[in-house]
Amino acid sequence: MDEKDFLKKLENAGTGDIKMPKNKAYIKNMLEYKAKQQSKKMPLAVRLIPVYAVALAIAAVSSYMIIDYNNTDTKFNELGGVWCTYDDHYQGGNSTVWPPASTKGENNFVKSSPGSSGKGYAIRITGTAGTKLGWDYIGVNTFLSPRSTCPECVGIDLSRFTGIKFKIKGKVEAGKVVFIFPHEAHVIDKSRGICKSLTSYADYEFDITKYITASWKEVKINFRKDLKQPDWAKPGERYDIEKVLSDANLIKWQYENGGGHKVDIWIDKLEFY
């Protein structure tokens, strides 16, 4: 038997789900009894602490969450959210981005190789900033759960994390690259078919241009110390960072102010820490 057939045989050897419902119910009953015992022993104060505060307490011990280590070539990150690129065509701009941004709801995203360890994959975008708008831009974003895109627009709670880190390399001819932490509503902006921005896109951001060189560098962004909303954010569009972190839909990397110039960015090993 050749290796391929042997491996197939191994995969087929997995049995289906063998059900033992009476044993399952028996064990469940015992577990529920034990859980009641455990619950009674918990101090009243702990039982009354809201879940998010418990999560914060656990976070104090240190935790991290992988967003994407790019070990596989898929449009999805390890949180189940999708990667996509975008440009400024909606506003009449003429910037170009690769992989191409969606025009009719399709997703053209592909990963590039190799990743920062010399194997696997990475997130790569290339493009040219347009010259029509004055605020021409392209970018790449990733959603933080399968439910974070339309139509649900549901965010995840990142408040137990200190920040985000990732590796980056590339070339920025002119302009800047910013990491952006959008704040979105749980409703769709029907004119654009995307989740509605609560800040009119005056989101928390951090300029990472200086980190982008020919060799891979680690970028570590502290949510509470490094991220700032831009000066042009209006009073009604300013939010406490804790609010933004508690309901996070997506994160973005955006090239802007390039005015006709090119950019090439590679991103890998993304995680919340």
Tell me the DSSP string of the chain: --HHHHHHHHHHTS------HHHHHHHHHHHHHHHHHHHHHS-HHHHHS-HHHHHHHHHTT---EEEE---S--SB-TTSPBEEEEESGGGT---EEESPPPSSS------BS--TTSSS-BEEEEEE--SSSSS-EEEEEEESSTTSSTTT---B--TT--EEEEEEEEEESSSEEEEEE--EEEEEETTTTEEEESSTT--EEEE-GGG-SSS-EEEEEEHHHH-B--TT--GGG---HHHHHHTB-EEEEEEES-TT-EEEEEEEEEEE-
Tell which one of 91, 114, 135, 146 touches another protein (CB under 8 A).
146
Residue 55 in contact with another protein, rule: CB under 8 A: yes
Nearest approach, Cβ of residue 34 and another protein (Å): 5
Tell which one of 110, 133, 154, 185 touches another protein (CB under 8 A).
154
Nearer to another protein, 58 or 187 (CB): 58
Nearer to another protein, 12 or 215 (CB): 12
Residues 83-122 that bind another protein (CB under 8 A): none
Q: List CB contacts of 206: < 8 A, sequence separation 6 or more.
A: 178, 179, 221, 226, 227, 228
Residue 192 in contact with another protein, rule: CB under 8 A: no
Residue 29 in contact with another protein, rule: CB under 8 A: yes
Nearest approach, Cβ of residue 198 and another protein (Å): 20
Residue 231 in contact with another protein, rule: CB under 8 A: no
Nearer to another protein, 2 or 231 (CB): 2
Tell which one of 107, 145, 246, 257 touches another protein (CB under 8 A).
145
Tell which one of 14, 43, 235, 236 touches another protein (CB under 8 A).
14
Nearest approach, Cβ of residue 200 and another protein (Å): 27
Q: Which stretch binds another protein (CB under 8 A): 16-24, 87-95, 99-107, 212-220?
A: 16-24
> What CA–CA distances, in Å, run from 239 to 28, 98, 173, 200, 236?
45, 32, 33, 12, 8
Residues 118-137 that bind another protein (CB under 8 A): none
Residue 82 in contact with another protein, rule: CB under 8 A: no
Report the interface residues with another protein, using CB under 8 A: 1, 3, 6-7, 9-15, 17-39, 42, 46-47, 49, 51, 54-55, 58, 61, 63-67, 69, 71-72, 78-80, 145-147, 154, 156, 271
